[in-house]
Amino acid sequence: MTIKENFELAKQAYAKWGVDVEEVVEKLKNVPISIHCWQGDDVAGFEVNQNELSGGIDVTGNYPGKATNAEELRSDLEKALSLIPGKHRVNLHAIYAETNGEVVERDQLEPKHFENWVNWAKENGLGLDYNPTLFSHPKADDGLTLSHPNEEIREFWINHCIGSRKIGEYFGRELGTPALTNIWIPDGYKDIPSDRLTPRKRLKESLDKIFAVETDKKYNLDAVESKVFGIGSESYVVGSHEFYLNYAMKNDKLCLLDTGHYHPTETVSNKISSMLLFSEKLALHVSRPVRWDSDHVVILDDELKEIALEIVRNDALNRVIIGLDFFDASINRVAAWTIGTRNMIKALLYAMLVPNEYLKQLQEEGNFTERLALMEEFKTYPFGAIWDYYCEKIGVPVRESWLEEVKAYEQEVLLKR
């Protein structure tokens, strides 16, 4: 049978439950995923005075072909985007500035250092998001930045974050879609602290100074990202979930939830509905932790499906900003982007094909038997036939055929670097 014939049969199966598959396919086309640039070069960046990766971040593997400059990185992103259905965004870190060989400290970065990225985004119909980089730098060597006891070091990072918000605003103004500018810091202690409060006071004061500088919300959205622990901050992280949740609520900022930044038994999917009750918007970094915050490539596992279901069943596709955050240097990096992003979109499609309103009704009626039965049965409904049709309709490779394009790109481009 053809892809179209399989699609028509699957459509009938879903129609029985009141799911309009054609409407779902059209709606999915308008859901952007913010694809993180740092998978392509192992979070190295392109600073002239490049520093060793630090801040509790580690990338393992030595697969050939990583991007060594911005042009290579953009080329790799273009290849990945050509294999992913839909129109999406690209998420940049400050270390991906282009300074034409000049050493420019991070607190001196300006929009002009990202003009090439903006021009490229315009050519490709992409939005851009942004992150100040508060790691891999001599002024972060002791694991402290915005909460540092040294005022001079704090001011350096405060100024970097202020400048970053201006860069995010520039992205939004130039591209006609607001940039999410997200602040994550590595600050914390390896062993049990004798004072948890003082570093958090300093972090709050630093954030207050950063956000005292106005940016236009039409072009820039501010987010803060928490973490439960990291390498070198196993016992205490200054920017904990509770800290940032309270700070975001009180100061009208977005709280960004990274799926790898919580305890192993804690799930972000379970937090989404509570966050949406009290926030107009929510931001996500979708990753895959394996025993700890190891940022594995996103797969179509139960938690990814549950995250998508929480977004869809709560009618929050326009309220949740979905970004990805993983890095694997043991496999082809273009393939990693393609696998992870396609899986995120697959999860959203899966969620949109579930008769969520009917299942809600069953729960309200206390009909837990039928609720459980149907939730299980829909796991094997023919959503794959809908996915194949969606990819074909958008004009990207169907099923695993995209892998041949990546293999060819590896031979023609990546292995020659």
Residues acting as catalytic residues = 184, 225, 227, 258, 261, 285, 293, 295, 325
B/e letters for 301-316, b = 16+ CB within 10 Å, e = fewer, are: eebbbbbbbbbbbeeb
Instruction: Reduce the DSSP state of residue 283 to 3 states and report it.
Output: strand
Q: How far apart are CA 155 and CA 345, in angstroms?
A: 40
Phi, psi (rounded to 5 degrees) for 127: -90, 160
Give me 204's structure tokens: 């709050």
Closest CA to 65 of 96, 89, 39: 39
The closest alpha carbon to 24, from 269, 354, 304, belongs to 354
DSSP 240: -
- Report how far residue 220's alpha carbon sits from residue 218's, in angstroms, rounded to the nearest whole number: 6
| Token pair in block for residue 58 | 């580690």
176's tokens: 């006609």
- Which two tokens mark 13? 């199966």
- The 10 Å Cβ neighbour count of residue 392 is 17
Residue whose structure tokens are 């400290």:
105
Q: What gap in Å lies between CA 269 and CA 278, rounded to an integer?
A: 16
- The position carrying tokens 């995209």 is 402
**HSE, side-chain direction, 13 A CA sphere, residue 335:** 20
* Residue 236, amino acid: Y
Distance CA 414, CA 332 (A): 9
Instruction: State the CB neighbour count (10 A cutoff) for residue 318.
Output: 10
Distance (Å, whole) CA 215 – CA 217 = 6
